[in-house]
A and B are shown apart, each in its own frame.
Chain A
Amino acid sequence: MERADGNLRSNLAERARGVGSLRDFLELLEEHGQAVRWSDRVMPEPDLRNIAVAASRDVNNAPAIIFDNIAGYPGKRTVVGVHGSWDNIALLLGQPKGTTIREMFFDIAGRWGDASAQISRVSEGQAPVHECRHEENINLYDILPVYRINEYDGGFYLAKASVASRDPLEPDDFGKQNVGIYRLQIQGPDRFSLMTIPAHDMGRQILAAEREGVPLKVAVMLGNHPGVALFAATPIGYDESEYAYASAMMGAPIRLTNSGNGIDILADSEIVIEAELVLGERVFEGPFGEFPGSYSGVRRAPVFKVTAVSHRQNPIFENIYIGRGWTEHDTLIGLHTSAPIYAQLRQTFPEVTAVNALYQHGLTGIIAVKNRMAGFAKSVALRALGTPHGLMYLKNLIMVDADIDPFDLNQVMWALSTRTRADDIIVLPNMAMVPIDPAAVTPGKGHHLIIDATSYLPPDPVGEAHLVSPPTGPEIEELGKRIRQMQRGDVR
């Protein structure tokens, strides 16, 4: 762990606010030993996958890995694992390595609604993303050093692309631009399919464009500002701008420019692919190894035709390993799955003290709550199922008391072991559920399970056991720090 004195913290915070691009962030990561260059020659398959998986086993400390010697892709570079460990996320947030997940959760939760966006614009001629431009004879394989992410994926995927689009019916409304992460499968030299569902912003826009017969243009940004990658996956309202939101959450300015097809894009991204929806056409898409650790099925998905590609000189193609956890997907979106649920719950129930929805995008969540009365936590759980994310994802919910840290699974297991009665479990069958839940009998439907592991309060009969109350608080935390310093030899 880095020594987190005041100077280091303020320096780190300033450095994080100064990050304006993927390149800036890789430089910061390298300074802290959190990015490495892999210059031995590798085959696209299976080497890139194997190395990415090996790195992601160290969820706390894994570095980003930059490959610059890939067989068949001379001179091209790819990076994986940029958001692949808690230490990398900590540095992005301006915190020292070794910052606990709990600390980062409260850091993010505290930023909600706390700052204003700083959006600036640069002309296309000044934007690094437009340094090189291709408008004819485009072959995505000639630009992107892609590889098969999981062995039985249906093709070569761009799995960490931020897709920007304007509402096809209201193209002049800045707020109704959408920026989201969608999986894209390359479907030939200048086409790709895009996987979405009607509930996603992109799904709404595709349906609207096809219904009205109007064009839907998109700009696919690769190798982006790491804050946008982090926050573009956060569910926010349809008419809120993801750029403004990311800037506010990072407390840092974001530079935008125009794509060649008239969409606001990040000026400092590595690569942008401009494309247009092929109205009414569907192509086979999938399977794809998804975040629950299972393959999605084969479906027929919308397809886009590439119209141009811009990129920086010597661009870095950023991709992700996603599959059976832990993977970069979990560290990329875990805290930003948890924080909105926390914020939304506290609007109704300020008794909620923390939310851990790190597990498979919240298929399991743990909520800590000050239990006001017998059975209170069950009502909080039902409210959680009514949040935008809870509706489709919170399959298993464990409710614990406020004296349990939901990010400490030893404490959660203690609560389960000592505070659960068989009649404190509620199963709600045949509810809406994210279709890629591998346990689903009918994809799109599933159960919600609530386990109330909070303590008993009157009028519940409590029994004769009384809890041990070990010492807690700042004094114990200081003693713990001193013990760790003694272990490192910093203090004798």
Chain B
Amino acid sequence: MTPAQCPRCGSDGSTADFRGVDDGETVWTIWRCNDCCFSWRDSEPASAIDRKLRAGEFALDISDPGRFPVVLQPSNFQK
């Protein structure tokens, strides 16, 4: 399958994790962004998974990962 673009961060690197099948027919696919960890199902409403329609405050820019808080900072953690 052609990797889908992440609706949240715009990355082109994604992995198909699972296909939902009814009576031998694929009805949806779950994708996961390899960069920002967003997961989505391609049957969801466009407001959630169409990057052009998705609310701007829920877009994600991960070019500076250091700005995201780390939960339970491990002692050997590499930023």
Q: A interface vs B, CB < 8 Å? A: 43-46, 71-74, 139, 141-142, 148, 151-152, 154-156, 185-189, 193, 195-198, 203, 206-207, 210-211, 279-280, 282-285, 287, 297-302
Which B residues contact A (CB, under 8 angstroms)?
8, 15, 17-23, 27-28, 30, 32, 36-41, 43-45, 47-48, 55, 58, 60, 62, 65, 68-72, 74-77
Q: With contacts A45-B45, A72-B27 known, what are 19 further pairs, Cβ within 8 A? A: A44-B20, A45-B41, A45-B43, A71-B28, A141-B30, A142-B18, A148-B41, A148-B44, A151-B48, A188-B32, A195-B71, A203-B72, A210-B72, A210-B75, A210-B76, A211-B75, A284-B68, A285-B37, A299-B69
Q: Contact partner of A297 among B40, B55, B69, CB < 8 A? A: B69
Is A141 touching B17 in the complex (CB atoms < 8 A)? yes
A71-B20, A141-B30, A284-B68 known; A44+B41 contact, CB < 8 A: yes
A283 to B48, Cβ gap below 8 A?
A: no
> Are B22 and A71 touching (Cβ within 8 A)?
yes
B68 touches A155 (CB 8 A): no
List residues of chain B with CB within 8 A of the CB of A189: 17-18
B68 adjacent to A148 (CB under 8 Å): no
Residues of A within 8 A of B43 (CB): 43-45, 71-72
Q: Which residues in B have their C-beta under 8 angstroms from that of A74?
A: 21-23
With a cutoff of 8 Å between Cβ atoms, the chain A residues found around residue B30 in the complex are 141, 156
CB distance from B47 to the nearest CB of A (A): 7
7 closest cross-chain pairs (CB), A and B: A72-B20, A141-B18, A155-B39, A284-B37, A301-B71, A152-B58, A210-B74
18 contacts between A and B (CB under 8 A): A44-B20, A71-B22, A71-B27, A72-B22, A73-B20, A74-B22, A148-B40, A148-B41, A148-B48, A152-B55, A156-B30, A186-B39, A187-B39, A188-B15, A188-B32, A198-B72, A299-B68, A302-B71
Closest chain A residue, CB of each to CB of B38: A154
Residue from B48, B71, B76 with most neighbouring chain A CB atoms (10 Å): B71
In the bound complex, residues from chain B placing their C-beta under 8 Å from that of A185 are 37, 39
- Inter-chain CA distance A292–B68, complex, in Å, is 21
CB within 8 A of B70: which of A71, A279, A282?
A282
A285, B71: Cβ atoms closer than 8 Å: yes
Q: How far is the CA of A192 from the CA of B15 in the complex (A)?
A: 16
CB nearest neighbor in A for B20: A72
Residue numbers in B under 8 Å from A299 (CB-CB): 68-71
Find A282's partner among B32, B75, B77 (CB 8 Å cutoff): B77
Known: A72-B20, A148-B41, A188-B15. A206 touches B72 (CB 8 A): yes
- Counting chain A CB atoms within 10 Å of each CB, which of B17, B27, B76 scores highest? B17
Which residues of the other chain, B, contact A72 by a CB distance below 8 angstroms? 19-22, 27-28, 43
Q: Output the nearest chain B residue to A202 by Cβ-Cβ distance.
A: B72
> In the complex, what residues of B have CB within 8 A of residue A139's CB?
17-18
How many Å lie between the Cα of A185 and that of B39 in the bound state?
Answer: 9
Complex-state Cα separation, A329 to B77, whole angstroms: 34
The answer for the CA separation of A148 and B74 in the assembled complex, in Å, is: 29
- Most chain A beta-carbon contacts within 10 A, residue among B17, B37, B60: B37
A300 partner residues in chain B, CB cutoff 8 A = 65, 68-71
Q: How far is the CB of B8 from chain A (nearest CB, A)?
A: 8
Residues of A near B47 (CB, < 8 A) are 151
Residues of B within 8 Å of A287, CB to CB, are: 58
- State in angstroms the CA–CA spacing of A211 and B73 once bound together: 10
Q: Give chain B nearest CB distance to A202 CB in angstroms.
A: 9
User: In the assembly, what is the distance between CA of A280 and CA of B38, in Å?
Assistant: 21
- Write the nearest CB–CB distance from A50 to chain B, whole angstroms: 11
**Across-interface contacts of A43 in B (CB, < 8 A):** 43
Report chain A residues within 8 Å CB of B23.
74
Report the separation of the CA atoms of residues A45 and B27 in the bound assembly, to the nearest whole angstrom.
Answer: 13
Given A71-B28, A287-B58: A155 touches B37 (CB 8 Å cut-off): yes
Contact residues in B for A186 (Cβ distance below 8 Å): 39
Q: How far is the CA of A196 from the CA of B40 in the complex (A)?
A: 23
**In the complex the two chains form, what is the Cα distance from A193 to B71 in whole Å?**
11
| Residues from chain B with Cβ under 8 Å of A211 in the complex | 75
| Complex Cα spacing A206 to B73, Å | 10
Contact (Cβ within 8 A) B71 A196: yes
Chain B residue nearest to A46 (CB atoms) is B45
Q: Collect the chain A residues with CB atoms within 8 Å of residue B20's CB.
A: 44, 71-73
| A73-B28 Cα distance, complex, nearest whole Å | 10
Residues of the A chain whose Cβ atoms lie less than 8 Å from the Cβ of B44: 45-46, 148
- Whole-angstrom distance between the Cβ of B32 and the nearest chain A Cβ: 6
Q: How far is the CB of B62 from chain A (nearest CB, A)?
A: 7
In angstroms, Cα B77 to Cα A210, docked, is: 10
Closest B residue to A204 by beta carbon equals B72
Per the bound structure, the CA–CA distance linking A372 and B53 in Å amounts to 60
B29 to chain A, nearest CB (A): 9
Give A55 to B45 CA distance when docked, in angstroms: 21
Measured CB to CB, the closest approach of chain A to B68, in angstroms, equals 5
